[in-house]
Amino acid sequence: MVTDEHLDPAEPSSAVLEELERLCVDLAVAAARLIRDERPQQVGVAATKTTDTDVVTIMDQRSEELLHRLIRGARPDDGILGEEGADVLGTSGLTWVIDPIDGTVNYLYEIPAYAVSVAVVTGDARTEGGWRALAGAVADPSRELVHHARRGGGAWTVPESAPAPGSPTRARRLAVSTEERLGRSLLATGFGYDADVRARQAEVLRSVLPQVRDIRRIGSAALDLVRVADGSVDAYAESGLNAWDLAAGWVIVEEAGGVVLGRRGHRPGKALTVAAGPALVQPVQALFDPATQ
């Protein structure tokens, strides 16, 4: 099993972490402005991926191109891994893991719940369980907010127009909900694009629904994780996530006092990702993890 010690051979100094966090914020805000301010009247589907409903828009592509260019300019030795195909092997040991639009279906339908997720990770970003995020930012263009964290620095929300990390006046520090009772918990979740996977996820929800207050399907995993971090949902669980869906949100949840788990004995990822406050996270894991049933 990969442990955190294996993933952190040499943790960067706090000054470097702060610089990386600041860059995460700047990059996420730049892409957020692009997809909001240059959104065409008709967005249109540029391509499909795993299924006919797993779409890529021209703005996913433009956003990833922008992030790619800015990262190459600022940190030429780092790697890049992006949802729409960016794949650069770096030499520094750091990799930028980017989702240029998380919540693409919401973006396509003009539902204001989509995000840009930017994280910088150590370890092997291409191997599930092989990496650990050092800093991350999730920009929410519809609300003109950016949520961000770095290891040891707390989790924060700032307005897009004043995104300097630690800005004393306008930053809001995030903290997970203190709800401990499963039956009172508002649980965010999401579904994959594949019909068979969705059928299995619906089956799991049959047993979950009677045991929680209610569920929410927001449509952006990155925003679901931010909602756990700011306490506006109590927990989140989903299977099928990729590194770019969860890298930034994971560090934000942990810095807000939460815990992110996978299936029992595994790191978070495709099989399962669960996020909640410390008292709630294992009960929620048990609802979704067949290994605990």
Residues contributing to the site for ligand LIP (CB under 6 A):
83, 99, 102-105, 190-192, 219-221, 238, 240, 245
Question: DSSP secondary structure string, 140-158?
Answer: ETTTTEEEEEETTS-EEEE
CB 216 within 8 A of CB 233: yes
Kindly tell me which of 122 and 220 has the beta carbon lying closer to ligand LIP.
Answer: 220
Tell me how far apart the alpha carbons of residues 53 and 179 are, in angstroms, rounded to a whole number.
Answer: 35
For ligand LIP, which residue has the nearest CB?
190
Residue 217 Cβ, how far from ligand LIP at the closest point, in Å? 8
Residue 198 Cβ, how far from ligand LIP at the closest point, in Å? 9
Kindly tell me which of 171 and 276 has the beta carbon lying closer to ligand LIP.
Answer: 276
Residue 257 Cβ, how far from ligand LIP at the closest point, in Å? 23
Kindly tell me which of 64 and 289 has the beta carbon lying closer to ligand LIP.
Answer: 64
Element (H, E) at 82: strand 79-82
Residue 237 Cβ, how far from ligand LIP at the closest point, in Å? 11
Residue 31 Cβ, how far from ligand LIP at the closest point, in Å? 13
Kindly tell me which of 104 and 122 has the beta carbon lying closer to ligand LIP.
Answer: 104
Residue 75 Cβ, how far from ligand LIP at the closest point, in Å? 23
Q: What share of the chain is helix, strand, coil (3-state, %, to 5)?
A: 35, 25, 40
Tell me how far apart the alpha carbons of residues 51 and 193 are, in angstroms, rounded to a whole number.
Answer: 6
Task: Reduce the secondary structure of 32-75 to three states and give it as a string.
Answer: HHHHHHCCCCCCCEEEECCCCCCEEEHHHHHHHHHHHHHHHHHC
Half-sphere exposure of 66 (CA within 13 A, CB side): 22
Kindly tell me which of 95 and 104 has the beta carbon lying closer to ligand LIP.
Answer: 104
CB 90 within 8 A of CB 121: no
Kindly tell me which of 78 and 83 has the beta carbon lying closer to ligand LIP.
Answer: 83
